[in-house]
Amino acid sequence: MECLDLQGKVCPFVLFYTKKKLEKIPVDEKLEVIANDPTAKETISGWCKAHHHEILEIKDMGTHIKIIILKH
């Protein structure tokens, strides 16, 4: 599983870097995104739904959130 640490970045950059990373990984690969922008959860979830990627987990870690995406 690839990991993308985007702490300190704000949307739309969190989504931009997530999209770029997903373009580079193979289908059926997982991507873990770590972000501390509070809008990242909704932004990434909505984009993944629109582009048919699956959100496997969204976890609030207190200081940041962890999102695990399965690329389709």
pLDDT digits (tens, 9 = 90+) for 13-37: 999 999 999 999 999 999 999 999 9
Confidence class for position 2, pLDDT limits 50, 70, 90 = very high
Q: Please state the domain count of the chain.
A: 1
Per-residue CA distances from 54 to 60, 63, 68 (Å): 18, 24, 9
Q: How far apart are CA 67 and CA 33, in angstroms?
A: 5
Q: How far apart are CA 41 and CA 2, in angstroms?
A: 18
Q: Which range marks the domain in which residue 8 is found?
A: 2-29+43-70
11 is catalytic: yes
Question: For the chain, what percent of residues have pLDDT higher than 70?
Answer: 100
Would you state the pLDDT for residue 15? 98
Would you state the pLDDT for residue 49? 97
Is 35 domain-assigned?
Answer: no
Is 38 domain-assigned?
Answer: no
Give the residue ranges of DSSP H helices in the chain: 13-24, 40-50
Q: What is the rounded average pLDDT for all residues in the chain?
A: 97
Q: In what order do the strands lie in the sheet with 2-5?
A: 2-5, 30-35, 65-70, 54-60
Is 34 domain-assigned?
Answer: no
Q: Which pTM value belongs to this model?
A: 0.95
Residue of 6, 7, 11, 29 marked catalytic: 11
